[in-house]
Homo-oligomer: A and B are copies of this chain.
């Protein structure tokens, strides 16, 4: 009898530990929210987006499935999108008023609330990796402009000439926008202007949540404008006690509404569901006149992919490898 009791106890503990591990892994990515409409898309371009989103999320998921940390999953998923000219991050980022690319990224580790970010880099090939290096190899959270580039060079992070990032598509966008108005006093959601910020949130087998976001900002930006992406609490946040969030949208409104942390705070302080919390925060963004979207996972792996724009490039893979990839509203 005693033996049976020990056996059953062991079985119970074993199955609990399996269950707690098995339920945990998950990854979600976004490739930007904006006025993404089916009527403006060719089947070829749509297909390119679907393929690249799948490549990015599978890259991250495979790391998690092999027991790797959420940090690596988020970094590698984002690097796939930074290296693709389809998204407004890394290669193919939008251009500033003076026809350069200026890159921002941030990363947060939900285990210890450590974080790193860069703003206004001209030369860092993969901004998300530099954000992680700021977290791990400097006492700071946010490095900017030439300083961020100097840091990257000092730490041996890959840098490239600014021309590496520039694509004909973005140069044309900028020049047609400049014909409308030479300074960036516009609603950044100009006709056909898409926000291609990229981001990822993952939870690993140990329950550690990581979140990362990377962008080229808004087309035609001037005055060293910094948006929400490198701002912890606005465009990015992770905390194992509640959730990880990556945002995309009209950055100024995401800063003013502290969107990423506002979602976390609703979970922390009133036990709100992550989807409802996301909707509430996006309603606040709408109330101040902005729009955009968020992705995230709570500590139980529940996913959010909410947006109040026409579309958002997004994908999710759950613990069992079920995959969802979408562009438009359901």
Chain B residues with CB under 8 Å of A113's CB are 256-257, 288
- The CB with the most chain B CB atoms within 10 A, among A112, A144, A186, is that of A144
Query: Which of B139, B145, B232 is close to A144, meaning CB atoms less than 8 Å apart?
Result: B145
| A268 and B280 alpha carbons, distance in the complex (Å) | 13
Closest to A270 in B: B269
Residue A54 at the chain B interface, CB threshold 8 Å: no
Is A223 in the interface zone, CB < 8 Å from B?
yes
* Chain A interface residue bracket vs B: 35 or more
Report the separation of the CA atoms of residues A232 and B266 in the bound assembly, to the nearest whole angstrom.
Answer: 18
Question: Does A247 interact with chain B (Cβ within 8 Å)?
Answer: no
Partner of A112, one of B234, B265, B288: B288
A222 within 8 A of B: yes
Kindly state whether residue A119 has any CB partner on chain B within 8 Å. Answer: yes
Most buried by B among A120, A138, A141, A257: A141
A233: chain B residues at CB < 8 Å are 231, 233-234, 255, 258, 261
Task: Tell me if A226 is interfacial: C-beta within 8 Å of chain B.
Answer: yes
Closest 4 A/B residue pairs (Cβ)? A147-B224, A265-B265, A147-B223, A233-B258
Residues of chain A whose beta carbon lies under 8 Å from any beta carbon of chain B: 108, 112-115, 119-120, 138-148, 150-151, 184-186, 188, 222-227, 231-234, 237, 251-252, 255-258, 261-262, 265-266, 268-270, 288
